[in-house]
Structure formats: C-alpha cells, structure tokens
Structure 1
Amino acid sequence: RVEISRVQADSPGRDDHSNRSLNAEWVEITNTTRDAINLRGWTLRDDDGNRYRFDSVRLAGRATIRIHTGSGRDSRTDLFQNRRDYVWDNKADTATLRDDRGRTVDTESWGRRHH
C-alpha cells in the first residue's frame, strides 16, 4: 500500500517564491509494502486541480519519496514539480494520490475549507 505520509504545505519563512522556498513545500509518499512499486502514470493533485504526474519512478519497499513544488534534480528520495508558484494552500487543502488507473489511493486533508 502506498500512502501520503507527511505534508508540509506551509513553507517555513516568507513565501517569497524563491526556488528554495518552493521546495520547502512538499508532500511525502511512503510505500508501506515490501515490494517496489512503479509510480508511472500516478498523479498527485490539490483541491484546485493542480496535478503532478509521475514519470517512471520506482518506489522501493518501505521507502519514502518527497515531492517538492519547485525545481531540482529528481532522485530516489526527491522529486520536483518544477513549478514557479505554490501548490498547497497553507490554511486548508487536500492532497489526492491516484494510481495509473485513476483510482484514489490516499488523500490527506488539512485545515478547514470554507465554501
């Protein structure tokens, strides 16, 4: 099973849109099984419909990968959305992880939405 294990929606310090600040906003996904899983075609999205699509990413068993908002070099432990703007709302939002068939695997919500 793959789950959203941690979210840092509010980048520490001032939201100055620097790459460093953008990358301090992230979502962690953990593979709780023993088997590696290929995340190709999986998506991570917010309430506003901003969507990140995984390339061929192998998530090892019992491993965690961190998806940053800004730019950087993808590695086994860190992926980058290469965005110039923040994705996750500090006050309230929902991160939704879907598999390559579009099925919801996990969601993580924080704060309170006011509709």
Structure 2
Amino acid sequence: MTAVAVAAVAAAAVGAVALPASASSADHHHPGRARAAVYISQVRYDSPGRDDRSNWSLNQEWVDITNSTRRAVNLNGWTLRDGDGHAYTFRYLRLDGRSTVRVHTGVGRDSRRDLFQDRRAYVWNNDSDTATLRNDRGRFVDDVSWGRHGRGHRH
C-alpha cells in the first residue's frame, strides 16, 4: 500500500481527509460556497511515473468522494463522469458518515474504502478535464475541473 493510500485510510478513519496536493492532483476547497454533504474531495488525474497502462498505474489515478455528514448516504445509482462522457456508476455502496471512498480507474476488489472502475485505459486527462458527480436521479452534486479551466476550479 502506498504512503498516500495509507494516509487516506488513516485520515478517513478519523473522519477527515487531509492529503497534500501534488502536481498531479487537485485538492478542492472552495470558500464562499457551502460544501455539499457528499462531494469530490480530491482527484489524482496523473498517476506517478510513466503512463504505461499497467494496472498499478491505472489504480494510481483516482477520485475521492467524501460524506461530510454524520449519516450514511446510499450512493447506489450515483455516477462519476469525466468530460469525455466516461461514466462509473456506484453499485451497492452505503458511504458511512464522515468517511471517504476512493474510486480507482483500474481493476481491483471493491471494499468500503476503495472502489475500482475495472478499466484498462486512463479516464482522467492530465492536461484538463472535469470530474462530475451526480445522484441516482441524475441531479448535479459536485464537480471539479483542472487544466485550462484553472486548477481546482468548481462550477
């Protein structure tokens, strides 16, 4: 397990995500706008090292979804989509209160803290993209953009 993954698990255990932003991630805090109960808390859109499409590299590309409330939220049917229309649909996930789930691009075994899109190609563009979270009724919940839209920009 990488140091970043260990830090994320430890942070989630205490109910907060406190990961440092890096050159290949977007950490999103937006003053002046009330934070949604469930929101995109961090995106790593450029996995470290060479983009060789190995499963390890694909799984180093991820999006963190955080529930800031005390109550669990049923994410069944929610979607996470990129700017090109690639979509991941959450299935059978009840996100506990004050916890975070990490959605990896590659193949793996789903758990309460890590989900896998089971893709064999990258989803998030390194130069610019937008991650959009919608609920089971298709209603906008949150989004995060990077690159030409401005790093960490929220719509």
Which category of TM-score, normalised to the shorter sequence, fits these structures?
Answer: over 0.9
Aligned mates of 1:91, 1:25 — CA distance in 2: 14
Q: Deviations over 1:74-94 (max 9, x none)?
A: 000000000000000011000
Matched AA of 2:143: T
Give the aligned partner of residue 104 of structure 1.
140
Q: Deviations over 1:20-74 (max 9, x none)?
A: 0000000000001110011000000000000000001010000000000000000
Aligned mates of 1:66, 1:8 — CA distance in 2: 10
Give the aligned partner of residue 28 of structure 2.
none
TM-score, normalized by length of structure 1?
0.97
Max Rg structure: 2
Q: Which has the higher contact order (CA 8 A, sep 6+)?
A: 1
Matched AA of 1:62: R
> Percent of counterpart pairs with the same letter?
68
Give the aligned partner of residue 33 of structure 1.
69
More helix by share: 2
Q: Which runs of 4+ in 1 moved over 2 A?
A: none
Aligned length: 113
Give the aligned partner of residue 105 of structure 2.
69
TM-score, normalized by length of structure 2?
0.72
Q: CA RMSD in A?
A: 0.6
- Secondary structure at the aligned position of 2:88 is classed as strand
Structure 1 unmatched ranges of 5 or more = none
Give the aligned partner of residue 89 of structure 2.
53
Match of 1:84 among 106, 111, 120: 120
- Secondary structure at the aligned position of 2:136 is classed as coil
Matched AA of 2:108: G
Aligned mates of 1:38, 1:75 — CA distance in 2: 15
